Amino acid sequence: MKDIFSAPFIREMGKTASNMYRLGWDERNGGNISYRLREEEVGEYLDLGKVIREIPIGFDAPSLAGEIFVVTGTGKYFKNVEDDPETNLGVIRIKKDGKTAELLWGYKDGGRFTSEFPAHMMSHMARQSVDPESRVVMHSHPTNLLAMNYVHELDEAKFTHTLWEMCTECIVVFPEGVGVLPWMLCGTNSIGEATAAKMKDFRVVVWALHGVYGAGKTLDETFGLIETVEKAAQIYMLIGSRPRLNTIKDEDMVKLVELFGITNYRKDFLKL
């Protein structure tokens, strides 16, 4: 059996959490990541027949039965994941009943997965229903995006349009736009269900006055998606209330998507 501390999926979780921490997106225990793994890759590092303990998940996830995830732990700090993955991460498998998680590795101090587990698992189910390659769900509190929530209308079309205007490549990176949920109580099944409903149409969902959810095929891609949205929000906040003399026009955005051969962009979010 290979050493799990050298597993790419463990190392990459640590590096991603460190990057997010250093960017100031994940203060204290803010943020959480879940990454769906392939049984073959986990089997190189762990005995898949050995379950450390079982943890009830508190909702039904039948379509995830048998799926294995590495998930950040509740109350754990992103800044510590890279140095001590065995305490701050857990590798879990959803049992056949779809209601229980089997701990295969990690949460060494007796911990459990993030309090946002419902939103993560429900988002995985939603994303997989539209993209079977989807493997990552990431939650974070990016500073400028959060600031923007206080001063910009939370209408999805308007919010997306402003972000698209802030960097030329935004419409290429998230052509479907961003979903926006109103402020809701976090950690609940209801916010999980609302997030998952948005995840059928968007890979980025803003939790108003809280943070953001992103989904993607890889950790890199998902991180890059949130990074791009946060960059756009940063430009918006830097401009502030100064008069805007120049902007990217809607017809220019159309030229961009055409250049990149993108057809699934939200035309209804543009004013053509």
**What residue ranges bind ligand 2HA (CB under 6 A)?**
29-32, 114-116, 139, 186
- Closest approach, Cβ 93 to ligand 2HA, in A, equals 22
Q: With respect to ligand 2HA, which residue has the nearer C-beta, 19 or 63?
A: 19
- Choosing from 54, 67, 102, 116, which is the catalytic residue? 116
Pairing state between β 179-181 and 53-56 = unpaired
Helix, strand or coil, per DSSP, at residue 141:
coil
Q: How far apart are CA 87 and CA 112, in angstroms?
A: 10
Respond yes or no: is residue 116 known to be catalytic.
Answer: yes
Pairing state between β 89-94 and 136-140 = unpaired
- Closest approach, Cβ 210 to ligand 2HA, in A, equals 7
User: How many residues does this entry show for the chain?
Assistant: 272
Q: With respect to ligand 2HA, which residue has the nearer C-beta, 23 or 157?
A: 23
Are the C-beta atoms of residues 21 and 79 closer than 8 Å to each other? yes
Q: With respect to Zn ion, which residue has the nearer C-beta, 79 or 108?
A: 79
- Closest approach, Cβ 140 to ligand 2HA, in A, equals 8
- Exposure b/e, 23-55, CB count within 10 A at least 16 = b: eebbeebbbbbbbbbeeeebeebbeeeeeeeeb
- Closest approach, Cβ 26 to ligand 2HA, in A, equals 8
Q: With respect to ligand 2HA, which residue has the nearer C-beta, 139 or 203?
A: 139
Q: Where are the beta strands (DSSP E) in the chain?
A: 32-37, 53-56, 68-72, 89-94, 100-106, 136-140, 179-181, 204-207, 211-216
- Closest approach, Cβ 134 to ligand 2HA, in A, equals 21
Are the C-beta atoms of residues 12 and 219 closer than 8 Å to each other? yes
Residue 127 touches which of Zn ion, ligand 2HA, none (Cβ within 5-8 Å per kind): none
- Closest approach, Cβ 39 to ligand 2HA, in A, equals 27
The DSSP call for residue 270 is: S
Q: Please report, as a single letter, which amino acid is at residue 144.
A: N
Binding site for Zn ion (CB under 5 A): 211
Q: With respect to ligand 2HA, which residue has the nearer C-beta, 172 or 186?
A: 186
Q: Please report, as a single letter, which amino acid is at residue 9.
A: F
With CA atoms as reference, report the closest residue to 58 among 143, 118, 135.
118
The Cβ of residue 9 has, within 10 Å, a number of other Cβ atoms equal to: 21
User: Nearest-CB residue to Zn ion?
Assistant: 211
Q: With respect to Zn ion, which residue has the nearer C-beta, 120 or 127?
A: 120
**Catalytic machinery residues:** 116
